[in-house]
Structure 1
Amino acid sequence: MKNTKLFKLLAVVIAVIMVVGVMAACSKATDADKGVTEAVADAANNADNGDSDDTIYRTLDQIKKSGSIKIGVFSDKNPFGYVDENGKYQGYDVYFARRIAEDLGVEVEFVSTEAANRVEALQTGKVDIILANFTVTEERAQQVDFALPYMNVALGVVSPSDKVITELSQIGKDDAVIVISGTTAEIYLEENNPEITLKKYDTYSDAKTAFENGQGVAWANDNTEVIAYANTVDGYTVGIPKLGSDDTIAPAVTKGNESLLNWINDEIKALADEQFFHKDYEETLVDTYGKDYEEELVVEGGVIK
């Protein structure tokens, strides 16, 4: 009997010691333990959001709750996206970006982006939307989700006025054409004219400087951009105003972000009632292109005529 009572008492003491030990261990969790806990919580949160392991995005509700939206735009591509002398973002895409933020009831946070990193910026969660003169292509549509279009575009080629390139066959084997990495111009020429030497630059400003310094006999880019360039810089002519197929420019969101994509599509449709993109054109592009290009370039309500 005495042995039985002793064993029971010993069992109780051992149990108490184990409980105290567990509590002490919990109260002294290391930073590494906390990091694991936080990582698990983050993974659970991403799972709730429908995020995959390699893409990150904020849903429409999360953006609204945060009070701001991150929109990727160009900072050196006048008149579509650029920073003016006062340090403020301006341009056709920027005008639209501000309206998106206004109608969402949040602040807009502009994120400067380059052509080559637009897809990556979405996939890594750096931005919520890309509005950086982004041409819709089948290849890109496999990586991001495009909303309805708001502008027409094709490829064009600009060259010095004293030696205008009107056909690609004029470009010799020792000549080079300047392109910006990650653009449809680069993709088109590599696929259709592999015999042409390309000089690639990451930024619009670097490509412009190289072209003006004679690093290439021509510059291939969106026709909207080369026309704008020739209209504002003396000594250059758009000898090929249209190269390849007619395309469109549209907002892009991270693949699978349906709530934000659907909202943008509804927004574009609704803005047609006030002819918003015509107003955008007249505020930001008319000084560059004049009225003659307005109907050719502008797409209202996502409907291509």
Structure 2
Amino acid sequence: MKKINIIIAIFASMFFWGCSNGDHQENGMLENIKKRGVLKVGVFSDKPPFGYVNEQGEFDGFDVYISKKIAKDLLGEKGKVEFIPVEAAARVEFLKSNKVDLIMANFTKTKEREAVVDFAKPYMKVSLGVVSKEGKIKDISQLKGQKLIVDKGTTADFYFTKNHPEIELLKYDQNTEAFLALKSHRGVALAHDNTLLFAWARLNTPFMVGIDVLGDEEVIAPAIKKGNKDFLDWLDQEIDKLTKDGFMQEAYDVTLKPMYGVDIKSESVIFEK
């Protein structure tokens, strides 16, 4: 009987240890960030106007602008943020391996991604688009037998792999590589988020967005490692506040409007208060 009690005690302590060092640790992420005093955010370094390195060598763009505000509201100063460059295909892994606390790298919320990370409330709307020289590609049927450029691990990659296996995809790790491939005529067109393509095409004539909307409208949201309910709840409240008090509109006006001009309406890109 004594041996049985000892065994039960051992299993009980193992169960308690597992809970206290697993779920408890995960759910204490918000407090851990506050203690550290720095918010680690994964952003793009080559995707203007959302995340890029400007001429001063500093991270800039829509996602960066919002991230600084999140850091200020969480830690008291917008400078208490460390930006870590990520590539599209590595965003999930950066969260899983604790390299970042938060992904603000134009991350589209999908069912597949929801299975491996937690998304907070969305702050942006997006659809796929296709850009080509002079906008000649206006229909998916024109891509059959042609080479289409995409970034690895993006919704464009997933969409065409699943729905159009007849189209040959040229996949690149970085945005700069993908757009250079388009300019070098390695592919007849490039598929990406339409919000990015609208801005890029304005600066890169004679390229035009021939297909404005492809597939369903989706949303972009902050993403964190699964299981951190305290941090997720805080982010949900933060995104609500930033939307309702007009900060998201401010971020749009400062970072996106100069790139989009009057052709794109803010309500088609961000959520209104």
Q: What TM-score comes out, normalization by structure 2 length?
A: 0.89
- The answer (yes or no) to whether the contact 2:144–2:166 under 8 Å persists in 1 is no
Q: Which residue in the other structure is 1:241 paired with?
A: 212
Q: Which residue in the other structure is 1:294 paired with?
A: 266
Q: Deviations over 1:13-65 (max 9, x none)?
A: xxxxxxxxxxxxxxxxxxxxxxxxxxxxx9897436344xxxxx960000001
Q: How does 1:258-277 map to 2 (within 5 A)?
A: 258-277=229-248
Q: Which residue in the other structure is 1:49 paired with?
A: 24
Q: Structure 1: where are the runs of 5+ without partners?
A: 1-41, 52-56
Q: Which residue in the other structure is 1:188 paired with?
A: 159
- With over 3 angstroms needed to count, the CA separation of the structure-2 counterparts of 1:58 and 1:75, relative to structure 1, is farther
Q: Which residue in the other structure is 1:143 paired with?
A: 116
- With over 3 angstroms needed to count, the CA separation of the structure-2 counterparts of 1:91 and 1:58, relative to structure 1, is farther
- With over 3 angstroms needed to count, the CA separation of the structure-2 counterparts of 1:48 and 1:194, relative to structure 1, is closer
Shift of 1:268: 1.1
- The answer (yes or no) to whether the contact 1:276–1:300 under 8 Å persists in 2 is no
* Of 101, 117, 132, the match for 1:159: 132
Question: What is the alpha-carbon distance in structure 2 between the residues aligned to residue 45 and residue 242 of structure 1?
Answer: 47
Aligned residues with identical type, % of pairs: 46
Which structure has more relative contact order (CA 8 Å, sep 6+)? It is: 2
Q: Which residue in the other structure is 1:128 paired with?
A: 101
* Of 60, 64, 69, the match for 1:90: 60
Q: Deviations over 1:229-264 (max 9, x none)?
A: 111111101110000000000000001111111101
- The answer (yes or no) to whether the contact 1:166–1:240 under 8 Å persists in 2 is yes
- The answer (yes or no) to whether the contact 1:147–1:251 under 8 Å persists in 2 is yes
How many residues are aligned here? 253
- The answer (yes or no) to whether the contact 1:150–1:300 under 8 Å persists in 2 is no
* Of 222, 233, 241, the match for 2:193: 222
Q: Which residue in the other structure is 2:142 paired with?
A: 170
Structure 1 runs (4+) deviating above 4 angstroms are 42-45
Question: What is the alpha-carbon distance in structure 1 between the residues aligned to residue 167 and residue 95 of structure 2?
Answer: 32
SS at match of 1:285: helix
Question: What is the alpha-carbon distance in structure 1 between the residues aligned to residue 44 and residue 93 of structure 2?
Answer: 15
Q: Deviations over 1:195-250 (max 9, x none)?
A: 00000000001101111101100000001111111111111011100000000000
- With over 3 angstroms needed to count, the CA separation of the structure-2 counterparts of 1:214 and 1:167, relative to structure 1, is same
Shift of 1:131: 0.2
- The answer (yes or no) to whether the contact 1:58–1:128 under 8 Å persists in 2 is no
Shift of 1:288: 1.0
Question: What is the alpha-carbon distance in structure 2 between the residues aligned to residue 195 and residue 273 of structure 1?
Answer: 44
Q: What TM-score comes out, normalization by structure 1 length?
A: 0.80
1:66 paired with 2:41, answer no
Question: What is the alpha-carbon distance in structure 2 between the residues aligned to residue 211 and residue 86 of structure 1?
Answer: 27
1:204 paired with 2:175, answer yes
Question: What is the alpha-carbon distance in structure 1 between the residues aligned to residue 124 and residue 257 of structure 2?
Answer: 14
- For 2:84, give the aligned amino acid: V
- With over 3 angstroms needed to count, the CA separation of the structure-2 counterparts of 1:240 and 1:48, relative to structure 1, is closer
Shift of 1:73: 0.3
Q: Which residue in the other structure is 1:251 paired with?
A: 222
Shift of 1:276: 0.9
- With over 3 angstroms needed to count, the CA separation of the structure-2 counterparts of 1:78 and 1:58, relative to structure 1, is farther
Q: Deviations over 1:247-292 (max 9, x none)?
A: 0000000011111111010111112332111100000001111243
Question: What is the alpha-carbon distance in structure 2 between the residues aligned to residue 148 and residue 212 of structure 1?
Answer: 36
* Of 21, 30, 45, the match for 1:75: 45
